[in-house]
Amino acid sequence: MKHIITAFMAAVALCASANDAPEAKNDSTGGFIFTDVKTIKTTAVRDQNKSGTCWCFSTNSFVEDEILRIADKEVNISEMFTVRKCYKDKAVNYVRMYGIANFAAGGGVIDIPYVWKRYGAVPEEVYTGLQYGEEKHVHGELDGVLRGMVEAVKSKPNRRLSTAWLDAIDGVLDAYMGEIPATFEVDGKTYTPESYAASLPYNPDDYVAITSFSHHPFYDEFVLEVPDNWMWQRFLNVPLEEMKAVVDNAVENGFPIAWGADVSEGGFNWNKGYAVMPVPTDAASLEGTELARWVKLSDKERQNKQFDINGPCEEIVVTQESRQEMFDRQETTDDHGMEIVGYATDQDGNRFYKVKNSWDTNQVYGGYLYVSEAFLMAKTMNIYVHKDALPKALRKKLKL
């Protein structure tokens, strides 16, 4: 998922605990009053800062929360270990494909189990990836250097590839992110990345990645056609209502969900802590002074006014067909990774999903936001969840 670069710089960490009792959340800036109905136990909100690594922060958080759920054990897993492994494998893939592939900072929910199974994992304290004079992740220069290298290599100025270019990639990654230790200690025990991953109660084979698009058959797998699916991984395809049922069943039963979504919509308001899909204003429904003001607005002013939300609003009805059209017209794009950790209601009783982000905590809900059902149904790119979180009927259909 492509990261939308943010500048949220506060360093405060927030750790939310399990909470099944309703809790009022009064948003005086957005006009919503959210009451938490179900909140899944989760680790601290973290900050990807100026790096395109939301996919790793969100899915790492999901894995940490699964370890909390399964073993009641809190861990802080290094994002940059996974990011580094993916950087190198993306470089190999890009050069092998003669540059006809994606090489960028983005990734997806499946990248984490991919690295976990092949390379393992390490704690954050062992590998921070911060070896270049910054206290927080700032990857612009690193991304640019790596891009320049793979472009030079794939052009084959020597007519064939050298035997040194992969070592050069490793050299850059070592310089910026640090060398990965062969062994390290945790609680007095010595581990390798592989043995540390094996010691934790997360088995990638117990999880599934799901999407919902009608240009492929339902109840089967297909390669999701987005640039950041650089490994051409396959996703299970289910009808929209059944994808939503997976989310609802998961949350009700205490399972977190890694969530890939489009956040470029005007209804995604991070500062005010909500995401909605309001019904477009129709000039034919306006009268008198309202109509006179509307017709004088520019297109940009009308768009801004459209998303000037001051509390509960009427939202669009999302269907399989309308969702597909948004994807086909590239109105729904692969933007950002987050984690669903509960649900709430607004003051009118509408359901909203509680979502944990990786843009620090200096925001109205301390790093969380509330996403409407319509937004979730329209703008979900994919979800990643434990198989046990699926309704039994769907598991049977998918032969899981």
Statement: residue 10 has pLDDT above 60: no
**Lowest mean per-residue pLDDT among 143-147, 208-212, 282-286, 353-357:** 282-286
Q: What is the tens place of the pLDDT at every residue in 313-343?
A: 999 999 999 999 999 999 999 999 999 999 9
pLDDT by residue (tens digit) across 88-140?
999 999 999 999 999 999 999 999 999 999 999 999 999 999 999 999 999 99
Backbone φ, ψ for residue 242 (5° rounding): -75, -30
pLDDT tier for residue 280 given thresholds of 50, 70 and 90:
confident
Question: How many whole angstroms separate alpha carbon 119 and alpha carbon 63?
Answer: 16
What are the extents of the domains in the chain?
Answer: 23-278+313-398
pLDDT the model gives residue 82: 98
Nearest in space to 368 (alpha carbons), one of 209, 259, 254 = 259
Q: What is the pLDDT of residues 372-381, one digit of tens each?
A: 999 999 999 9
Q: Which two tokens stand for residue 88?
A: 């190198």
CATH fold for domain 23-278+313-398: Cathepsin B; Chain A (3.90.70)
Split at pLDDT 50, 70, 90, the class of 46 is very high
